[in-house]
Each structure stands twice: as structure tokens, then as C-alpha cells.
């Protein structure tokens, strides 16, 4: 059984994740929209082309969780699974830029410490979770695929509301998170407690949360995959809304 984010709030520093070896098991990426057509894909959050691939075991876990939710009149709405490393690099640059503009008085050390909590830095020894294909961002949605409110009374983009166990949530927001945990934890997926929407299996964060000796997944790219030329740039991404995804 995985750690329950409803009862914990932990930091996952890169220095600790580095201690966890990666023993890549070679599991392939699959298109989760094909393997599990009942999943709903959120189409309006990001400005870059998103891929619909993820490690096979994670896709199967999402299917099982979604089947459980359908019996209760809900379903999973998926934001993103696998993410290209160059997009992750641009996201991290955007996070640094955003936090620096909000807090110009911060030192470089504090700036990176805060940015690292909400957006994974590029690191060869600690691949950002989405680049491994083991991580997924998701929300609870109604039967028609419309995401429920998960943050009220916090405002969208308020980091205080990002934590899974954020205090003072209203009834609907608390219930949405509880239903996610109820459906996802039994499958083996684990939550990054700083972000209620981020769940993973097989990456170093999963190993850290569960006390596993090694991670199962390292960085990967889909076979024959080619990036969108419009996304291959060096500058930070310009976002339509808060892009806080590890």
C-alpha cells in the first residue's frame, strides 16, 4: 500500500532522491487514450503539444482507478503523462522567472529551493518524473469529463492550496481529493504531497515515498518520436495559467 497523502506532507529534496538508484525495467510507453478510452483528456491547459503516452503499468492503473470512479458517477480527467525533457527544461526556466518576479528579494538558493518544490529541475541523476513516463497529472471529473473544483476556497494558482492535505478546503474540494485517493492509492500509484494532482509509479519519487530500494523507470522517449519544431526553443514557456507541475 502506498503512502497516504491525506495524512502526510513531505518534502522530496533532490539530494535525497539522488540516493535512490534507477534500475530501468524497460517497460514500454503506451497511448493511454487507446488502452483506456474511458479516460478524459483535458485539452485547454497548456500551450505546447502534449503527448498521450505513459508507461504501460501506469496506464493500466489509471484504467482500474477510472473503472472504480465510474461506479460512483465520476471519472479521471488527464492533464498530461510523459513529457519531453526539453519541455521540462523550459518549464523550469519559467518557474524560476515567475518566482523571481514575485520575490526579487530572495537569494538564489531560496529561489531554487522553492522552484524545485513545484517544478522538477533538469537533472541527469534525478530525471524529472514526467520524463520517465511514470508520472501523470490528473483531476476528478464528472461523468461528462468536466473537472470538479479541487481548490476552493483557495484561488487557482495559490500554492497553499496545492498540498494534498491543504487545510480549510470546502466540502466539494475535500471530497474530490478524497475520491482521488480512494481510487488511485489501491492501484499502487502514489501522490506527491505538495501537488494534489501529481501521481506516479516507478520513478524515484515513488520509491522515496514507499521506501523502495530502487526506482523502476528512468528518462525515456517514445520510439520514433519527433518533437514539434514550435516547442524546441531555449526561452521559458509563456503560460496561460499557473504551470506548476513537477
Least confident of 3-7, 138-142, 193-197, 223-227: 3-7
What pLDDT, in 10s, does the model give residues 167-181?
Answer: 999 999 999 999 999
Distance CA 170, CA 123 (A): 37
Give the model's pLDDT for residue 228.
Answer: 72
Q: Which of 17-31, 113-127, 159-173, 186-200 has the lowest mean pLDDT?
A: 113-127
Question: Higher-confidence residue: 84 or 236?
Answer: 84
Q: Which CATH number fits domain 14-84+128-222: 3.40.50.261, 3.30.70.260, 2.60.120.590, 3.30.1380.10?
A: 3.30.1380.10
Report pLDDT digits (tens) over 14-70.
889 999 999 999 999 999 999 999 999 887 655 567 889 999 999 999 999 999 999
Percent of the chain with pLDDT over 70: 85
Give dist(CA 157, CA 244) in Å, integer. Answer: 8
Nearest of 175, 131, 135 to residue 152 by alpha carbon:
175
* Orientation angle between helical segments 108-118 and 85-102, nearest 10 degrees: 130
Give the whole-angstrom CA distance, residue 84 versus residue 116. 18
Question: What average pLDDT does this structure show over 232-237?
Answer: 64
Q: What's the mean pLDDT in 189-200? A: 94
The pLDDT assigned to 129 comes to 94
* H helices present in the chain, as ranges: 14-17, 32-35, 56-70, 85-102, 108-118, 171-184, 204-210
Return the higher-pLDDT residue of 70 and 243. Answer: 70
Q: What is the pLDDT of residue 237?
A: 61
The whole-number average pLDDT for the span 187-209 is 95
Mean pLDDT of the chain: 86
E-strand stretches of 121-236:
135-142, 190-191, 198-200
Q: What does the alpha-carbon distance between residue 28 and residue 223 come to, in Å, rounded to a whole number?
A: 9
Torsional sign, CA 207, 66, 153, 238: positive
Amino acid at each position: 500500500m502506498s503512502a497516504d497523502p491525506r495524512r502526510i506532507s513531505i518534502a522530496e529534496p533532490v539530494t535525497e532522491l539522488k540516493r535512490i538508484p534507477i534500475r530501468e525495467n524497460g517497460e514500454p510507453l503506451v497511448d493511454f487514450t487507446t488502452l483506456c478510452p474511458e479516460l478524459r483528456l483535458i485539452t485547454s491547459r497548456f500551450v505546447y503539444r502534449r503527448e498521450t503516452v505513459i508507461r504501460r503499468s501506469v496506464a493500466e492503473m489509471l484504467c482500474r482507478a477510472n473503472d472504480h470512479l465510474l461506479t460512483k458517477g465520476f471519472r479521471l480527467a488527464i492533464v498530461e503523462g510523459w513529457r519531453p525533457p526539453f519541455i521540462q527544461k523550459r518549464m523550469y526556466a519559467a518557474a524560476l522567472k515567475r518566482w523571481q518576479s514575485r520575490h526579487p528579494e530572495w537569494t538564489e538558493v531560496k529561489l531554487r529551493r522553492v522552484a524545485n518544490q513545484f517544478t522538477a529541475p533538469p537533472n541527469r541523476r534525478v530525471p524529472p518524473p514526467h520524463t520517465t513516463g511514470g508520472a501523470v497529472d490528473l483531476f476528478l471529473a464528472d461523468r461528462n469529463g468536466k473537472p470538479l473544483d479541487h481548490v476552493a476556497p483557495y484561488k487557482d494558482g495559490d500554492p497553499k492550496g496545492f498540498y494534498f492535505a491543504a487545510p480549510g478546503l470546502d466540502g466539494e474540494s475535500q471530497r474530490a481529493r478524497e475520491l482521488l485517493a480512494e481510487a488511485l492509492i489501491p492501484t499502487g500509484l502514489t501522490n506527491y504531497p505538495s501537488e494534489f494532482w501529481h501521481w506516479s509509479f516507478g520513478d524515484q519519487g515513488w520509491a522515496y515515498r514507499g521506501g523502495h530500494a530502487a526506482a523502476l523507470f528512468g528518462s525515456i522517449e517514445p520510439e520514433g518520436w519527433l518533437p514539434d519544431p514550435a516547442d524546441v526553443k531555449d526561452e521559458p514557456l509563456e503560460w496561460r495559467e499557473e504551470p506548476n507541475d513537477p
